[in-house]
Amino acid sequence: MMSPEKSIDDLSTEARPVHITVNGTPGQHSVQPRTHLIDFLREDLGLKGSHLGCEHGVCGACTVRLDGQIVRGCLVLAVQTDGRRVDTIEGLSDSGAIRDLQQAFIRHNALQCGFCTSGMLMAASELLEQKPRASREEVREWMSGNYCRCTGYQAIVNAICEVLATRQAARIEGATA
Amino acid sequence: MNAPENRQLQKSLELALEARAEAPHTPTAAPLGGELQDARHIGQAIPRPNLERLTEGRGQYVDDIELPRMAHVVFWRSPVAHARIIRIERDFARMMPGVLAVYDGADLATICKPWVATLTHLAGIKSAPQYPMAIERACWQGEPVVAVVAKTRAEAEDALQYIQVEWEALPAALDMNTALDPETPVIHPELGDNLCFTRSLDTGGVDEAFARADVVAEATFDFGRHTGVTLEPRCQIADYNPASGQLTVYHSQQAPHMMQDLYSRQFDLPESSVRVICKDVGGSFGIKVHAYPDDFATVAMSILLKRPVKFVADRLESFVSDIHAREHRIQGRIAANKDGDILAFEIKDVTGIGPFSMFPRTSGIEGNQVVNLTGGPYKHKAYRAKLDVVFLNKTPTCQYRGVGHPIACAVTEGLVDLAAAKLGMDPLAMRKRNVIPDDAYPATGASGIKLEVLSHEACLRRIETLMDYPALLSEQAALRAKGVYRGIGFATLIELTNPGAAFYGVGGARISAQDGATLRLDPGGGVAVMVSVGEQGQGAEAIFAQIAADAVGVPMSAVRLLTGDTEAVPYGGGTWASRGAGIGGEAVLQAGLALRANILKVAEAILKRAVQTLKLDAGVVVDAVTGEALLPLHELGRVAYYRPDTLPAGFTSELMVTRHYAQRDYPFIFTNGVQASYVEVDTETGFVKLLKHWAVEDCGRVINPMLVDEQIRGAIVQGIGGALFEECLYDDAGLMKNGSMADYLVPMAGEMPDIVVAHVETPTRSSMLGAKGAGEAGTAGAPGAVVNAINDALRPLKAECWSQPVTPEKILRALGHI
C-alpha cells in the first residue's frame, strides 16, 4: 500500500512502482496506471495461462485470484494489486492445490478447446472452498459467470460435482480416522 | 462415522459419475477385423492426452506467442453500414508514440490481389471483388478501412483515436425481404441487382400432392442472424522474412493448407514459401475456416514492414467482423394424407448475407444446404424449393456449425408437428411412419441427396425408451390439468459428413478433399503421428492416437501427435464438415496398418523368422501362435536405425509411412439421429425452462464414446443458443445493437439442461474404420426439438411461435398477452 508521504500525482499516466506477490513470489514491478491486471500478467510477466476473451468482464476467461478471492483480470488494474497477492493457473498448478479438480476435468472431458478452462478452474476452486456441500443446481448457478462455447457445461458440472463428493468423503474419513 | 451422511455422499458420487454414463456405451457395430481384432483403444472412452497441458494453463494460443520485433495491428472499421470514403487523415496517428505505419486499402491492394468468392457448381452465383481493406467505399459496419501498426497493442489503440475519416453515408440494403425490390439500393451496381445466388428445385408432382392431400399445414419460419462467439477471438501473427522470402503465419484456423494456398495466390508467393502453423485453437465452430479480409491485411503489413505483425480481434470487433450465419425466412408447407403419410414438402427460402460472398467457400452454401436437406429423413417423393440469397449491408455470412442443417431440420420438423397436430396423430408415430426405413438403403432423398446407410427407425425406437415417452406424456397431461404447460418436441435429422470433393473441389475451390497421415517408428519405440486434420478441441488428436495405437499395435502412451503445420504434416483439408474422424481417422488407420506391416518386415529380418509367424502386440513383436515376447520395439528400432549393417544385404527398414484417404463413394456420408426436448413454458412471463434433452445419434463406428457424447452435448447447447437466445440485432441504420458479450446472449451453465446421449452404430462402408462425423448433428437437431417442444406446450392455448430465437417477448405476443 502506498503511504501518504510517498503519494505521487494521481493523474500521472507514468509507470509507477508496485509490489505484487505473484504465485508466491514477491516482486517489484513498474506498471502504468491504465494497465489491466490481465495485461500485466500476460505481457509483463509472461504468464499466458489466463486468457482474454472479452475484456469487458463477462466471459470469465481471465479469472485469477486476488488475495485468495477470484476477480476478473480485465476489470482490475495492476496498480490496484499493489501490496497484494495474485495467484494464477500457473501457480495453482505448480502448488498442486487443485490437482484433483484438474484431473476430474480431464476424466470428464470438461474442456475442449481449453480457452475458458483456467477461468473455469478458478471459479470452481472457489466454489469448492466456499460451498463444499453445493448441490448440482448450485454448481450450475455458480459456474454461470463463465462462458464455455464448446462443452455445453454438463461435463464441467459433472467434474465439479465429483470433486465436491470426493473431497467431502475425504473430510469425513479424516474426521473419523 | 456418520453412516447416513456417508451413504448420501456415496450416492452423490455415484450420481456424478452416472451423469456422464447415464446412457452407457454398448457398441452395436460389428468389431473391426484383421489386424484390428485385438483393438484395445478404438471404441473406448479414453481421456484426451493433450488435456493436462490445457488444464495447467500451458497451452499455446496465437496471442500467447511473442516474436522478436513483433508489431501489433489494430483496425479502424467502418462505423456505418454503407459509406463513400472521402478522405483519410493519418498524419496525427503517425506522430503517436510507437507507431510504425498507417495503411489504407489502396496501400495493401498494391501487393494483395482482390478476390471474388464464387463456386462453379453453385450455378450463377455472383459477388464483387473484395480487398483486404475497403477502398473508396465501406459496405458494412465493421469492414476494415484503416490499419495502424505500432510496437505495442496499447500504442496502436492510442493512435487509432487520431485517425480521421471523412465519409458520406450511402443508402443501404438492410432487409433481406426487400433486398430485391426495385426501390432498394443495389450494393454493387455492376452486378445489376442484390441477388447473390438463386436456386429452384422441383421433383414434379408437388401441386398434385397438395391437391390430393387430406391435410396441408403451413407456417413461416424465421431464423435470427447469429454468430459463433469463439471464446478465443480470431487471431494471427504474420511473419514475413524478406531474406528468405518465407512467409510464416501463426493462425487460429481450421484449414491451414487452404490458407497456405490463398496467401500464396493472393500475394503471388510460391506455395512452398508459405507456411501456416495452427497451434492451440480456442474454439472455431466454422468461424475460423474462412479467409477474412483482415487475415490478408495482416499478412500484407508484415510483408510491407518486413517484420512480424500480430492481429488479435477484440470482442467488439469480433461481433461485427466474424462471419454471421442463419438469417433466413422460410415459408414452408407440408401435405399429408389422413393415414399420416407425408406426400410433399414445399419451401421458399430467402436468406440475407453480407455485401460480399465470403472467401473462399462462398455465402451460397448455407441456403443450398437448406434446399438439399429439407424433408431429408422422410420417404415422400414430391418436393419443391426456391432459394434466394441476397446481398445486404451487414456483416458477411458463411458456414457456421451445422451449415443449413438447423434451419432445414427446424422447418421440416416443425411442419411434421403441424401436420401431426392437424391429423390428431402422435408426433413420434408420425415420424416412425414416414422415415426412410432402415432396410431401404442406399436410398435417394427427394432433393436428390444420396444416402448410404441410415438408421432412423432404430434411433426412434431407442429415444422412445431412453426418454420413457409414455411416462412423459402422462406427466405432461397431468400437469396441464394443473395449468402447468410442458411440451415435448422431437427432431429427426440427417447430417452430411465425410464430404468428398463434391463440397468445394468440384466447384473450383482449392480446398483438399483428401487428407493424409504420416506415421514414424522412432528408435525408442515411440510412434510419431503427423496428420493433416488438426485439433480445435474436439479431440481429433486423441482419437488419432487411439487409432494409431491399435493400427500399429503399440500402447497409446507410445503415440505422439503433430498437427497444424503445413510444413510438417501431409497435405489435407483440415477440420470442417464433420470430416476429421471419418477422413483423417481413416488415413491414420491405413498409415498405421502399413507401418505395422513394415515393422514386421524388419522383425523378420532381425529374427530370421517368417513374417507370418510374427505379430505386433502392445509394442512388442511376439510369436503369432504362442504370444511369446520376441523383440520389443525399442530393440527393433535400435537395430534398424543404428545397426543396419547387421541386416541382410539389400534390405532397408521403412519405418515411416504415409497414407491418404479421400471419400469417393458418395458426395457425402450422411449420418442420422433424433433429439427430444422437454420444456416448461411460463405463460405469465414467457420464460422457457429446459427440463431435459435427449439425443440418439448414429455416427457410424464410435471411436471414443466420451468424446462423441461431449461433441453432441456441446453442439446441442450451441443449437439451443440459436433457438432461445442468440441474435445479432440491427437497428434501422444497419448498426448492430447488441455487439458485446454483455448484450449478445449465449447459453450459460445455469439455464442448460442435462443432456442424455445414446448411440446406434451403423458404420459407413466407404472406409475400413467406418466412422462418420459427429461434430455438428447436435446443432442440427437441437433448435427443431426445442422449438417443437415450446409449440407443443403452447398448442392447448392455441398459440404458436416459429421465430427463432423464441424469446419470452415472442411467446407473450403469441399468447396475446402483449
Q: Which of A44, A64, A113 to mutate to test the interface with B (most CBs of B within 10 A)?
A: A113
Helix, strand or coil for residue B727? coil
Which of A49, A155, A168 faces B20 most closely, judged by CB atoms?
A155
User: Domain check: are B744 and B657 in the same one?
Assistant: no
User: Domain check: are B560 and B690 in the same one?
Assistant: no
User: Domain check: are B703 and B607 in the same one?
Assistant: no
- Cβ–Cβ contact B9 with A under 8 A: yes
Tell me how far apart the 2 most distant CA atoms of chain A are, in Å: 59
Q: Which residues of chain B neighbour A107 with C-beta distances below 8 Å? A: 47
Which residue, A43, A39, A1, is CA-closest to A20? A1
The predicted-structure confidence for A70-100, as pLDDT tens digits, reads as follows 999 999 999 999 999 999 999 999 999 999 9
Kindly determine whether residue A117 and residue B55, on different chains, have CB atoms separated by under 8 Å: yes
Assigned domain for B120 exists: yes
Which residue, B642, B647, B645, B549, is CA-closest to B602? B647
User: Domain check: are B529 and B656 in the same one?
Assistant: yes
Helix, strand or coil for residue B222? strand
Minimal C-alpha gap between A21 and chain B (Å): 19
Q: What is the pLDDT of residue B33?
A: 83
> Domain holding B648: CATH number?
3.30.365.10
**Fold of the CATH domain A12-93:** Ubiquitin-like (UB roll) (3.10.20)
Q: Which residues of chain B neighbour A157 with C-beta distances below 8 Å? A: 19, 749
Kindly determine whether residue A52 and residue B63, on different chains, have CB atoms separated by under 8 Å: yes
Contact in structure between B380 and B434 (CB atoms under 8 Å): yes
In angstroms, the CA B93 to CA B99 distance is 8
User: Domain check: are B110 and B151 in the same one?
Assistant: yes
Assigned domain for B658 exists: yes
Kindly determine whether residue A59 and residue B741, on different chains, have CB atoms separated by under 8 Å: yes
Segment 262-281 of chain B within 8 Å of chain A by CB: 280-281
**Fold of the CATH domain A98-176:** DNA polymerase; domain 1 (1.10.150)
Q: What is the DSSP letter of B356?
A: S
Q: How far, in Å, are B353, B417, B776 from residue B749 at the CA level?
A: 31, 29, 20
Domain ranges of chain A: 12-93, 98-176
In angstroms, the CA A46 to CA B189 distance is 51
Distance of CA B436 to the CA centre of its chain: 26
Boundaries of domain holding B261: 65-170+231-284+287-321
- Cβ–Cβ contact B60 with A under 8 A: yes
Contact in structure between B552 and B620 (CB atoms under 8 Å): no
User: Domain check: are B159 and B252 in the same one?
Assistant: yes
3-state SS of B330-344? EEEEEEECCCCCEEE
Q: Which residues of chain A neighbour B10 with C-beta distances below 8 Å? A: 169
Instruction: Assess whether pLDDT exceeds 90 at residue A148.
Output: yes
Segment 39-58 of chain A within 8 Å of chain B by CB: 39, 42, 47-58
User: Domain check: are B560 and B591 in the same one?
Assistant: yes
- Listing DSSP states for A7-31 in one string gives ---TT--S-EEEEEEETTEEEEEEE
Q: What is the pLDDT of residue B192?
A: 98
- Cβ–Cβ contact B283 with A under 8 A: yes
ipTM value for the complex: 0.95
In angstroms, the CA B165 to CA B87 distance is 6
User: Domain check: are B131 and B236 in the same one?
Assistant: yes
Assigned domain for B399 exists: no
- Listing DSSP states for B758-814 in one string gives EE-----TTSSS-B---SSHHHHHHHHHHHHHHHHHHGGGT----EES--HHHHHHH
Q: What is the pLDDT of residue B29?
A: 82
Assigned domain for B699 exists: yes
Q: Which residues of chain B neighbour A172 with C-beta distances below 8 Å? A: 1-2, 5-6, 9
Minimal C-alpha gap between A141 and chain B (Å): 5
Beta strand ranges found along chain A (DSSP E): 16-22, 25-31, 63-66, 69-72, 85-87
User: Domain check: are B523 and B576 in the same one?
Assistant: yes
Read off the C-alpha cell for B762: 451403423
The predicted-structure confidence for B504-562, as pLDDT tens digits, reads as follows 999 999 999 999 999 999 999 999 999 999 999 999 999 999 999 999 999 999 999 99
Burial class of B15 by CB neighbour count within 10 A (0 to 12, 13 to 18, 19+): middle
Chain A residue whose CA is closest to B778: A152
Instruction: Assess whether pLDDT exceeds 60 at residue A4.
Output: no
The amino acid present at B431, given as its one-letter code, is R
Kindly determine whether residue B51 and residue A141, on different chains, have CB atoms separated by under 8 Å: no
Instruction: Assess whether pLDDT exceeds 60 at residue A2.
Output: no
Q: In DSSP terms, which residues pair with B435 in a beta bridge? A: B378
3-state SS of chain A? CCCHHHCCCCCCCCCEEEEEEECCEEEEEEECCCCEHHHHHHHHCCCCCCCCCCCCCCCCCCEEEECCEEEECCCCEHHHHCCCEEECHHHHHHHCCCHHHHHHHHHCCCCCCCCCHHHHHHHHHHHHHHCCCCCHHHHHHHHHHCCCCCCCCHHHHHHHHHHHHHHHHHHHHHHHC
As a whole number of Å, the CA-based R_g of chain B is 28
The amino acid present at B507, given as its one-letter code, is G
**Domain end (from B662, B697, B713):** B662
Contact in structure between B521 and B599 (CB atoms under 8 Å): yes
Backbone angles phi, psi at B73, to 5 degrees: -115, 140
Which of A58, A146, A154 faces B713 most closely, judged by CB atoms?
A154
Verdict on whether the full-model pTM lies above 0.90: yes
In angstroms, the CA A74 to CA A56 distance is 7
In angstroms, the CA B705 to CA B31 distance is 15
Contact in structure between A46 and B65 (CB atoms under 8 Å): no
- Cβ–Cβ contact A115 with B under 8 A: yes
Q: What is the pLDDT of residue B462?
A: 98
Q: What is the pLDDT of residue B18?
A: 52
Q: Which residues of chain A neighbour B281 with C-beta distances below 8 Å? A: 113
The segments of chain B whose pLDDT lies below 50 read: 1-6, 8-9, 12-13, 16-17, 19-23
In angstroms, the CA B234 to CA B692 distance is 33
Tell me whether the omega of the peptide bond preceding residue A17 falls within 30 degrees of 0, making it cis.
Answer: no
Q: Which of A141, A146, A153 to mutate to test the interface with B (most CBs of B within 10 A)?
A: A153
- Cβ–Cβ contact B21 with A under 8 A: no
**Domain end (from B614, B647, B662):** B662
User: Domain check: are B709 and B791 in the same one?
Assistant: yes
Helix, strand or coil for residue B147? strand
Segment 131-170 of chain A within 8 Å of chain B by CB: 136, 139-141, 143-144, 146-158, 161-162, 164-166, 168-169
User: Domain check: are B618 and B701 in the same one?
Assistant: no
Q: What is the pLDDT of residue B440?
A: 98
User: Domain check: are B524 and B485 in the same one?
Assistant: no
Q: How far, in Å, are B464, B694, B713, B778 from residue B753 at the CA level?
A: 19, 10, 10, 14
Read off the C-alpha cell for B779: 446443432
Q: In DSSP terms, which residues pair with B384 in a beta bridge? A: B202, B346
Assigned domain for B328 exists: no
Q: Which residues of chain A neighbour B710 with C-beta distances below 8 Å? A: 109, 112, 151-152, 155
Q: Which residues of chain A neighbour B232 with C-beta distances below 8 Å? A: 51, 53, 113, 115
Assigned domain for B377 exists: no
> Domain holding B95: CATH number?
3.90.1170.50
Q: What is the pLDDT of residue B616?
A: 96
Domain total in chain B: 3
Q: Which residues of chain B neighbour A158 with C-beta distances below 8 Å? A: 16-17, 19-20
Which residue, B643, B709, B637, B646, is CA-closest to B673? B709
Burial class of B745 by CB neighbour count within 10 A (0 to 12, 13 to 18, 19+): middle
Assigned domain for B810 exists: yes
Kindly determine whether residue A155 and residue B47, on different chains, have CB atoms separated by under 8 Å: no
Assigned domain for B305 exists: yes
Burial profile A61-83: b = 16 or more Cβ within 10 angstroms, e = fewer? bbbbbbeeebbbbbebbbbebbe
Which residue, B344, B342, B366, B340, is CA-closest to B353? B366
